Structure 1
Amino acid sequence: MPTEAQRLSALLDELSALGTEASSTERGDLDLLGTAELVRRMNAEDQRIADAVAERSAEITAAVDGITERFRRGGRLIYIGAGTAGRIGVLDASECPPTFGTDPSMVIGLIAGGETAIRSAVENAEDDDHAAGESLRELQLTERDTVVGISASGRTPYVIGGLEYARGIGALTVAIASNADSAIGAVADIAVEIVTGPEFISGSTRLKSGTAQKLVVNMLTTLSMINLGKTYHGVMVDLLATNEKLHARSIRTVTELTGADVAQASSALAAADGSVKLAILLLTTGAEPDAARAALVDADGILRVAIAALTH
């Protein structure tokens, strides 16, 4: 059995092989530079991220299509991650209900260490390779669901264990890592490995790695929601008006997409119980609310299809 010193040496060797942990000789003088030069250099590093994401377009496409297909069967999207990666999953999940009018159970974010870890570090939480599986079991994971594991290093035990459990259930598994040939990529159905290279501050994966992760999860939810008909003419039409700003946005959306005035839009939204999509359908087709609701159901919630059905 290896000693503690031997285990530590093996871990250091493993980390030294990761691009996200590497140090760049170009940044040895950061503490000597003025702020303007620091801004220029950090921005130059960040500009590389979008290109790195674009290189994984095929894998992201496959993930979006898989997620969409499972959503249509009543499945869920569940993110798992530790630290920054976990917070990014929680953030993306929390923004889906107000943006797309989804039930909070449709997209879920799990973070190693639980809710406390959203704001504070929880010691050794990421090293628990059973915790994510236990949480997925409590959520009654099924083969209709998708589990997306996020880890900059690609070796986080919490994420590996969760993905292994999900594959055993038959759920679609997706790995988002910032290193090639990652451990999480090896256990997932789809590996989205965005190679972002050394961080601006060595090892600080909340920077380029975190930005890349945010870009990818933005696409996973946004594009699958577009596929589900949650937008129309590139505008959110399933948003929930949970505050004054969103109520005003609802009225503006209806007026812009139908040509109605504010009074007409407000009246249509009232008849539609606040549903922007239904209000647009009422104003565009002149249909009665019950008929319009039925048309939306028949169209699987896709507004264009419902409009066509009621106008032809």
Structure 2
Amino acid sequence: MTSTDRVGRLLTLVPYLLARPGISVDEAAADLDVTDRQLREDLELLWVCGLPGYGPGDLIDMAFDGDRVTITYDAGMDRPLRLNQDEALALIVALRMLAETPGVGERDAIERALAKLENAAGEFAEAPVAVRMAGNADRLEEFRKVVQRRRALRITYYTASRDEITERVVDPMRVLVMSGKSYMEAWCRRAEAVRMFRIDRIDAYEELAEPAAPPPQARSAEVRDSVFTPTPDLPLVRLRVDRSARWITEYYPCEEVHRDADRWVVTMRVADLGWARRLVLGLGAGVTVLSPPDLVAVVGGEARAALDAYVAP
């Protein structure tokens, strides 16, 4: 069950329970096609959802009579959603942007949602707004032509995993699109290996007079669901994550996920421990590093240093 599935179910749950006061948890779980345990977890989550202010009078409230539940305060979720002009236009622009993004899946669903929203918005949908993905489709075509010219390139590239900008000479091999992102695959003379360069992270490039000449050992990577393919030689990281950080199991390739009631233990390969450090620190209290020891030490040291910064002199 993904986070998106759960959000959709939670939005349905309050009106469903309002229409059936005193319904048993077993019956509600059967109707919603979830387990009793999952439904109880959803009800616990609803207890901390509500209106801005989030005080006792703002949060969704329920009453239990044995195994039966009744909504006593719905925080306004009994009313159908009504969008004003700005909200409707913002959604239309966002959906049009998704539709313009190369490689996005579920395009039929996007088109259907956009058509329904434009129909409901009426004349608001005709506002003079043009949507284009800057630096995406145009730049993709630009680099396709660069690769076709078969010239070596000197590029200035931002490496997100190490948070650094480098200059390198590469021999382009091909351009591809994965998960809405455009990449140039090339032999990197600095790394002496084939590398994938995200096109939107190439800050500048210069075509050289010499032809592109990848060496015989340069082979294009087999790309399926993701540009990043974990291999056994990459560092193995084990994390204990709570509910707030479980989304990483949907977003990143994981080798193992051991689930229990409170916390999950996630095992994943990473291209760079520096990237893993930034991921973990960004997740805050939602994650604990179990291994490798080097990552445990680095994250622990930076976390303690951050806490020390709050100590009053």
RCO greater where, 1 or 2, for CA within 8 Å and sep 6 or more?
1
Q: Shorter-normalised TM-score: what interval?
A: under 0.3
From the two aligned structures, give the one with the greater helix fraction.
1
TM-score normalised by length of structure 1: 0.24
Provide the TM-score with structure 2 as the length reference.
Answer: 0.24
